[in-house]
Amino acid sequence: MALLIETSNSYARGILRGIHRYLREHRAWTIEMPEQGRGAPPPLHLGRWRGDGIIARIENPRIAEAVREAAVPTIDVSAARLLPELPVVETDNEAIVRLALGHLLAAGFQQFAFCGDDRFAWSRHRRDLFARLVGEAGFAASSYPHKGGRRTASWEAERAGLTEWLRSLPKPVGIMACYDQRGWQVLEVCRGIGLGVPDEVAVIGVDNDELLCELAQPSLSSVIPDTDRTGYMAAELLGQMMAGRRVAAQQYLIGPLGIAARQSTDVLSGADADVARAVRFIRDHACDGIKVQAVVDELAMSRRVLEHRFRRLLGHTPHDEILRVQIGRVAQLLAETDLPLTVIADRAGFKHAEYMSVAFKRQTGLSPRQFRQQKK
């Protein structure tokens, strides 16, 4: 069988883990899994391929046509529904949106917005569900890009659009991002223009990409999809089709597991104005190479008191927060530039690239070079 599923994001990798779990519990299949990026064209040989079955994220017309030409049992795991004649196993978008909105409502927000990516049908679907459910709760929601708008071609133009949109929103506002990468971008823009998170803008994403969420500044709350069950069910249905049993060409929806709550929606931290000020100071100056004493001096309080209040509200120390911001900057520069490690270390506030590499691997489980290879 063939797997046309990218490995570049945590959602797709979760699906692959579910497929693997099914294969461990049942008779193993011979797997062909060509290297596949999100939205990439299909392998050239797919239309002529004569295997026994396919599980694919069918997200563009070229893959759809190649899968149709292959004419073998196929399960779709994309919300795009480009081949409605196929069974599709996907996340339950309404359940995801209800969970995210409920989290923001429970935090006390009464003003809401949705930040989407209109390249994807599932993002547009989540945007519309969010607007409807916010309306049913008695409120209104803004959206970005505006309905009918198009995503811009460059991050510079995108940043400018997000900046204008975020500045225009009434505050405080709870924002649902269509997925974690979009949530990361919202947090980056908020940090760049001085909007306080979560006291002015709270952000929740979707997919719970743990590495991305933990390295965001501040760390990003996210809805946890049940990707393992999605992959397992896709493999189970394909097994039935390959055995000659009929599987209905319908949506098989998988609900989310819950929410991983992190700092981006932790409005309780706003209950301690000194800690909130300390966090903002750290986020602004961590990459200048500051030590905890600089934070103590800024707040004019003892280190012992500061660390106690930090631990009570955030669960970690000011030193941990400084390091987390630095590691987040390292990750950004590794993903977005080809700068050498010595330059990245300097820009993230580390005196030595060797220490930066050790700290980065301790935090992420990957060396800087391994992380950069995954992101390219």
Q: Which CATH number is 93-225+260-267 given? A: 3.40.50.2300
Helix ranges (DSSP H) in 48-92: 61-70
Q: Give residue 167's identity as a one-letter amino acid code.
A: R
* b/e burial code for range 91-103 (CB count within 10 A of at least 16 → b): bbbbbbbbbbbeb
Beta strands (DSSP E) in the chain are: 2-4, 54-56, 74-76, 88-91, 112-115, 141-144, 173-177, 201-206, 221-224, 251-254, 258-260
Residue 178, SS3 per DSSP: coil
Residues of the chain with CATH 1.10.10.60: 272-375
DSSP assignment, residue 76?
E
d(C-alpha 228, C-alpha 14), whole Å: 5
Is the model's pTM score more than 0.75? Answer: no
Q: What's the fold here for domain 2-89+227-255?
A: Rossmann fold (3.40.50)
Q: Where in the chain is the domain with CATH 3.40.50.2300?
A: 2-89+227-255, 93-225+260-267
CATH number of 272-375: 1.10.10.60
Query: Which pLDDT score is estimated for 184?
Result: 95
Q: What's the CA gap between 372 and 213, in Å, rounded? A: 17
Where does residue 11 rank: exposed (0-12), middle (13-18), buried (19+ CB within 10 A)?
Answer: buried
Which residue in the block uniquely carries the two structure tokens 């952000």?
203
pLDDT of residue 332: 80
Quote the pLDDT of residue 148. Answer: 46
Residue 311 pLDDT: 84
pLDDT at 188: 93
User: How many Cβ atoms sit within 10 Å of the Cβ of residue 305?
Assistant: 12
- Long-range CB pairs of 288-291 (<8 Å, 24+ gap) are 288/349, 289/349, 289/350, 289/351, 290/322, 290/349, 291/322
- SS3 assignment for 308-371: HHHHHHHCCCHHHHHHHHHHHHHHHHHHHCCCCHHHHHHHCCCCCHHHHHHHHHHHHCCCHHHH
pLDDT at 269: 46
Per-run averaged pLDDT (10 residues), the chain, 376 residues: 84 92 86 71 66 90 89 92 94 94 86 93 94 95 72 74 96 96 95 91 95 90 94 96 95 92 76 76 90 95 91 82 89 85 96 95 88 72
